[in-house]
Chain A
């Protein structure tokens, strides 16, 4: 059993025994015996089912924003990228400050398909991850590591950026044409929590119900803007898409724009508001 697992279990047992939290959202090993899945530990016995390894892909903060959990004191196991979600969600008042974040030093998550067995290559987000120690957590499990050199997180964008606007438009049309509007991307995204998403609103009806090219474009364009300055780059939306639309490209591009323009990375600082909610005098100069 890894030190991380021992550490998490000890911490969670303690939190539950002290009744500091009602329950803890963490990971356990799934029914395939390999891949981790979300798990809710309510008792100290259940705490011993918790695991942590390189298959813990889900961003568990997603559960905290569910309406039925309002009013509960919850603990949550977070990787560094998940911790960034937590920061964004806290700033957006999605849950009270007394949520207990159990941050885990993250070794990186591997790519797997449902069938499993396609090697142990790290996920794209992990290849560019420069933050393996979770920021601003209540409890830290694991040794804080010096952050090693990483691939350029925007390298993936270069081929698309080299294209003309028309080519890019054609590329995305092709992608969006396949979209089923199953909304799995939205459901998994921790930053998507509206009780009524614009995509399903009927009065006014921003996006037509039809699954067609124009409607699909509109859904993705608006969602993308709703995440500008808020997307923390977990790439979960891309991972869950059943038809493999590279949503990570879209969101990463916006992350890049926000970084270039406002020197802002969502979730890395709790004392700063997202750039699209604030205005600094210097900004007006090049917003042409």
Chain B
């Protein structure tokens, strides 16, 4: 026999100010199965909880309904309360009469009270059908996977490894370092990016607890927090890194030159290459698509075969070249995952009016970083790509791919104002004759020492910041005419520039959305991964055990990225330090008698939690792996046969709720 107790919380005046709680209590007393109902000023307070515990003892309650706020807020609290009084913690239901009632129906108190009574009636109908549930336990694989080796991933990997756990760091490119490796100096302190980054990169490469996998990608993830199985594709490097000494003979002699990605296309690299001198690992890979020997092999018999080349193979003193190398796919077990795949710069070809791509001297901010950098393609000389001359008038155009609905990027990229300020300063330091103009919409300089830094650009370094949009950039007599407006004085302006720099915004790196789908985490319209809670859980994805660090979840600068890397590492360490995890018993269950074996449920399950089993009568039925199931309920609504049921939210319970309010 169900003996239900109902506790109606006033939440101060939050609820009681709108809902007639006494009326709700007396209505509850007349509901079938209810043997006790009482009001409570703050049910979640220690006093309120004690009252619930006392009532459970006094009235021999075996089920409890708390009518108060959202279960998101206090379900764990009241589960604990009833557990302390000796009840199974899953024999408690909440009726949300605050968010669903008092906060939204303040203008109609009688109706609000009516709805509160209905909500309680539903919860009572459901709690009567609640079953005792017991959580399970599973072990943990004490190893972490970090995806993306930018500064975020580097920081996370080092912190986790230094805490004593193994780390696999998967990086898509031939080296770690990410975008930060391409930067010259960094705002607001102007310390050299490579000088602070490369020691960290080296530490990763040498750390006994870190296994580095470059030119590698995550293809598949199954399992669940504590026990993920990850499939990693190691793309063919065609150089055996266990033999290669990194002597450099090959990349000095390779005759095939292609634009360097690292130098944003401003310089060239060879076809067997390391992206930059401080790359980690400091061993080359062959860019097979561009390799002459590949072209030789691909040429059909009919045409004249190009020369074989194979110079690297001939010259390599270690005999490390492996032209026949193929991709390999391995699976690894890990307990936690950090996603830190970073960002890419917005492609400015969406703005034909700025002439990027059409005029050689309209470049991106990242290209300017490379020109400013002493180890860049010009050895740190800022010159025009068209004629190699030193530009004297440089115009920056802000918000290229930021704060603009027309290109689907309504958000602010957060770092562009600051790096423009930085670049104006650096330009002046390279050449005192440079005059920089910056067309901006707003200056966003919220951060420690940021506002002062922008002022330095303006006051000390004489950069002219003009508030207004640029309408057009066109060429005239060897100059780039930038036509915009100065909206502060309200008149059009034209600047004849030698170099135009487009401050391209930050967007998720290519393939971020596909990776998110592989991982089963949500992403927003732009492809940034969504945090479990934007304020309170910024480092967690909405899948347990998958954490976020750096620009993968939104634009941010280096200090913030590094803080996130350490933060995510702390979460991972906390997880891996446990010996076993408690699993939620509110998971799906198959009734094999009803299951028709169509396995539609297996198709829809986002967590790969469903397999199949052969029953003794020869039928096939679905089978839920309870430790993978997240209780999302997708399989339940997909199952036509009604064979799937979600514990804690069974069809019977939900139907009872519907019947309770429709009777």
- State whether the Cβ of A198 lies closer than 8 Å to any Cβ in chain B: yes
Which of B15-23, B164-172, B455-463, B599-607 binds A? B599-607
Is B597 a contact of A94 with CB atoms below 8 Å?
Answer: yes
Contact of A198 among B612, B618, B638, B642 (CB under 8 A): B642
Q: Is the interface of A mostly helix, strand, loop or mixed?
A: loop
Known: A71-B618, A195-B593. A277 touches B641 (CB 8 A): no
Contact of B640 among A71, A93, A198 (CB under 8 A): A198
Contact of A195 among B517, B594, B604 (CB under 8 A): B594
Size band of the interface chain A makes with B: 20 to 34
Is A201 a contact of B618 with CB atoms below 8 Å?
Answer: no
Contact of B652 among A94, A196, A198, A204 (CB under 8 A): A204
Interface string of A267-282 (1 = CB under 8 A from B): 0000001101110010
- State whether the Cβ of B378 lies closer than 8 Å to any Cβ in chain A: no
Is B638 a contact of A277 with CB atoms below 8 Å?
Answer: yes
Q: Which of A87-109 contact B (CB under 8 A)?
A: 92-94
Interface string of B582-603 (1 = CB under 8 A from A): 0000000000011111111001
Is A196 a contact of B594 with CB atoms below 8 Å?
Answer: yes
Contact of B603 among A67, A203, A226, A278 (CB under 8 A): A278
- State whether the Cβ of B118 lies closer than 8 Å to any Cβ in chain A: no
Is B603 a contact of A194 with CB atoms below 8 Å?
Answer: no
What residues on B are CB-neighbors of A204 within 8 Å? Answer: 642, 651-652, 655
Complex Cα distance, B615 from A70, in Å, reads 12
Contact of B619 among A70, A198, A206, A273 (CB under 8 A): A70
Q: Kindly report which residue of chain B lies nearest to residue A226, judged by CB atoms.
A: B640
Closest beta carbon of chain A to B521's beta carbon, Å: 14
Is B620 a contact of A93 with CB atoms below 8 Å?
Answer: yes
What residues on B are CB-neighbors of A195 within 8 Å? Answer: 593-596, 641
- State whether the Cβ of B513 lies closer than 8 Å to any Cβ in chain A: yes
Size band of the interface chain B makes with A: 20 to 34
Q: Kindly report which residue of chain B lies nearest to residue A273, judged by CB atoms.
A: B603
Q: Which of A192-251 contact B (CB under 8 A)?
A: 193-198, 201, 203-204, 206, 226
What residues on B are CB-neighbors of A70 within 8 Å? Answer: 618-619
Is B597 a contact of A281 with CB atoms below 8 Å?
Answer: no
Q: Kindly report which residue of chain A lies nearest to residue B622, judged by CB atoms.
A: A93
Known: A67-B619, A204-B651. A194 touches B513 (CB 8 A): no
Complex Cα distance, B642 from A93, in Å, reads 18
What residues on B are CB-neighbors of A278 within 8 Å? Answer: 603-604
Complex Cα distance, B593 from A197, in Å, reads 12
What residues on B are CB-neighbors of A198 within 8 Å? Answer: 640-642
Most buried by B among A94, A273, A277: A277
Complex Cα distance, B595 from A198, in Å, reads 12
Known: A277-B604, A281-B513. A196 touches B599 (CB 8 A): no
Q: Kindly report which residue of chain B lies nearest to residue A197, judged by CB atoms.
A: B641
Complex Cα distance, B616 from A70, in Å, reads 12
Complex Cα distance, B517 from A281, in Å, reads 10
Known: A70-B619, A273-B603. A194 touches B593 (CB 8 A): no
Q: Which of B626-644 contact A (CB under 8 A)?
A: 638, 640-642
What residues on A are CB-neighbors of B651 within 8 Å? Answer: 204
What residues on A are CB-neighbors of B620 within 8 Å? Answer: 93
Known: A70-B619, A196-B641, A206-B642. A94 touches B603 (CB 8 A): no
What residues on A are CB-neighbors of B641 within 8 Å? Answer: 194-198
What residues on B are CB-neighbors of A94 within 8 Å? Answer: 597-598
What residues on A are CB-neighbors of B597 within 8 Å? Answer: 93-94
Q: Which of A60-118 contact B (CB under 8 A)?
A: 67, 70-71, 92-94
Closest beta carbon of chain B to A222's beta carbon, Å: 9
Is B652 a contact of A203 with CB atoms below 8 Å?
Answer: yes
Complex Cα distance, B517 from A71, in Å, reads 37
What residues on B are CB-neighbors of A193 within 8 Å? Answer: 596
Complex Cα distance, B618 from A273, in Å, reads 25
Q: Kindly report which residue of chain A lies nearest to residue B653, judged by CB atoms.
A: A204
Closest beta carbon of chain A to B616's beta carbon, Å: 12
Is A201 a contact of B642 with CB atoms below 8 Å?
Answer: yes
What residues on A are CB-neighbors of B618 within 8 Å? Answer: 70-71
Complex Cα distance, B604 from A274, in Å, reads 11
Most buried by B among A94, A195, A226: A195
Q: Kindly report which residue of chain B lies nearest to residue A65, judged by CB atoms.
A: B596
What residues on B are CB-neighbors of A281 within 8 Å? Answer: 513, 517
Beyond contacts A94-B597, A194-B640: 15 other A-B pairs, Cβ-Cβ < 8 A, are A70-B619, A71-B618, A194-B641, A195-B593, A195-B595, A196-B594, A197-B641, A201-B642, A204-B655, A226-B640, A273-B603, A274-B600, A277-B603, A277-B638, A281-B513
Chain A to chain B contacts (Cβ below 8 Å), 9 pairs = A94-B597, A193-B596, A194-B594, A195-B641, A196-B642, A201-B594, A204-B651, A273-B603, A277-B600
Partner-A contacts on B (CB < 8 A): 513, 517, 593-600, 603-604, 612, 618-620, 638, 640-642, 651-652, 655
Q: Which 4 A-B pairs have the closest CB atoms?
A: A92-B598, A194-B641, A277-B603, A204-B655
